[in-house]
Structure 1
């Protein structure tokens, strides 16, 4: 592996709160992850973990069994991928707090996303989740405890009363819960270090962070998925965290799942640019300031949102991003390497069809207006495309069955395939009706007033 990368660890994030892959598929992609330059995995189980006892109701319908988790870890070891499990312990707790049995532990009664940090039962709950996860991950060195996007913190009734007391603040409330969870990990599971997402820490005053003791307990993961990442700002933030006493820092980029809640295909150039900027951050700050980078691949924005890009269609983007990290950028030779690994001729995705948007827009379709020559351009292509769609859907469903569970396939087809087929059928119907009208339109002087 090239020595040009400043990131010792390069972890691929598996977000299992949407479209969790079958273990058989993971056995195929783990060797590819390693070949592309990954040496670790961040596995965000959410409801796919086989919780037991009073936590058993958290399991999704197709949750992995304990033996399947063990097999995933074995497959990871075979591909030299170090595993870090992730369990949310503060924000993004929808998969727990949506259940009636735990709804009383919400910070705000109406919203299932944030845990009430004042309840002793809340801490006991996340401690039990942590203990069960680490029981099946005995050899790990890190545990990610989440703590990002803790929305509505301080807006619960108990918090409002607590905040009225002198010297209490939202920052103190956040830090105290983070400290309690991290302390449990360190005392009950020696040798395992907690990681946290850094967004709740960014705006806390430096002295308050330092005095909280949290910098001695956790390692923050600085995340930014933008193609306009502020390099100078990130370097400044690294310096702030180091001065507060954090011993180790991590970065987090994105190879998919960060450009739209319903995004179907990753914009590869966006994600490559994000990684190039993270390389600049690593090269501009103190040497070895960032211990590793997590390439996130979000599958849902939260537990209740739609699916975004599935893992298989994110592989080309992942390949480009990992190879960028390994070789210090995405020059032409690096592009060719990535394409060689994937067995594809190009990572580019382009669309050159302009006739529909230019000459048969919604305006034209409502009025059944179309230039005769455009019928010759649009109709044969649309008919051919519909035929290919029908064949492709059958092939796609068969392929998805090899990777995902039935509920994922049903959701994905209903969200992403069936609407496109319906739009194509509607287009052909509108085109046929427009073509049947006499006399045909001849130019920009159409009398639209005669066409309701």
Structure 2
């Protein structure tokens, strides 16, 4: 087919791992250790730094807010400000200093929302022949030229979504096809294979010499998704294989298997990396072997130490011997059973719904005998989940920064535990002698 799965790893999202407020990121020694481990495992790192859209991690700061395209929104950089390119250049320099010899640098440029809506852009667009497409291409060109001028051996990669609708003649005339390699991304389970092949052909006609595809092995299926739907990602990657087989020969350099940690800088965490490792193994082996036949499935199960990998649902809990499999098992158990078990008690238990409803709880009213029906169940459920959550918290702390652990537990565990604790508190107050004596006959 003229292409292969490129054994590279984009560092996209690493700045988000430590939570929304933490500015520390990875220390240089940590990056050096990652690069060393990558080399030992025959992996080539492709760093990524956003340079246009998804700039919230920079533009959220008051000191840099004047570089926003639209003053209210921190996601898009104002391409008219000279200081904007200086900022991008400084970030690129920092990243490249820590990645000497990198053959590629991904400069992002996806989802440049509100481009053209800032005051400077509005005035610029009033001039003859100026369009949003031209504005977008001029910034991409400026960033790419900056990279190539200072790092001539490094090839810039860009996400392709801002390029898709631009006519061929404009793309060709811009000079951008000679400077960057587009990464065509689509994470859906029902890919338009024919449409993607036509898009690749369009890019070829515009003068792009090399293209990349981007699938996903986790993320992309829900901003707050906790468990990875392997079948969805498997279908996505298999369909990208079909695109590769039907597109222009020898253009596709590889497939970037993205693994999202957040939808954007301000969103919650989606699937943690240990949770997505089985999906990563399935998708990688499917790409390498041209599909997910039984022999490929057996190979993945052997890699992961899973006796029977389930790809259609989340029932493979408690299995696996790969690093992080303990987190996967605990997260799966929480994801499948915590909220549902609490809902069953609070919303479907006949004693709670019949004798200690929200009406009773607000007024602290309860028949004393009902305390004996409700309280033991609630205490048992709380004790069982508290024990499991302590085990999960300890496992998470072995892998993640403390604020990542705090955030994930706050989003996925604490709401259900607080509901149980609230029920028990209301029971104690309603069952107090003073409250029982005060109840109307």
Q: Same fold (TM over 0.5)?
A: yes
Partner residue in 1 for 2:405: 409
Alignment equivalent of 2:222, drawn from 256, 260, 267 = 260
Q: Describe the SS at the equivalent of 1:133.
A: helix
Partner residue in 1 for 2:175: 213
Distance 1:381 1:289 in 2: 62
Partner residue in 1 for 2:364: none
Change (3 A) 1:430 1:360: farther
Q: Describe the SS at the equivalent of 2:69.
A: coil
Partner residue in 1 for 2:248: 286
**1:351-408: per-residue Cα shift (whole Å, max 9, x none)?**
699x9799889588799259xxxxxxx9999876644422221111111111111111
- The reply on whether 1:344 has 2:306 as its aligned counterpart is yes
Change (3 A) 1:358 1:18: closer
Change (3 A) 1:383 1:77: same
- The reply on whether 1:69 has 2:31 as its aligned counterpart is yes
Partner residue in 1 for 2:6: 9
Change (3 A) 1:417 1:211: same
Partner residue in 2 for 1:335: 297
Alignment equivalent of 1:192, drawn from 154, 175, 191 = 154
Per-residue deviation, 1:424 = 5.7
Partner residue in 2 for 1:148: 110
Count of aligned positions: 386
Per-residue deviation, 1:11 = 3.6
Higher RCO (C-alpha 8 Å, min separation 6)? 1
**1:282 touches 1:289 (CA, 8 Å); kept in 2?**
no
Structure 1 stretch displaced more, 226-235 or 128-137 = 128-137
Partner residue in 1 for 2:389: 393
**1:87-110: per-residue Cα shift (whole Å, max 9, x none)?**
000000001101111110000011
**1:10 touches 1:294 (CA, 8 Å); kept in 2?**
no
Distance 1:401 1:367 in 2: 36
Partner residue in 2 for 1:52: none
Per-residue deviation, 1:288 = 2.8
RMSD: 3.1
Normalising by structure 1, report the TM-score: 0.78
Distance 2:15 2:273 in 1: 12
Alignment equivalent of 2:101, drawn from 132, 136, 139 = 139
Partner residue in 1 for 2:122: 160
Normalising by structure 2, report the TM-score: 0.80
Matches within 5 A, 1:53-68: 60-68=22-30
Distance 1:358 1:276 in 2: 38
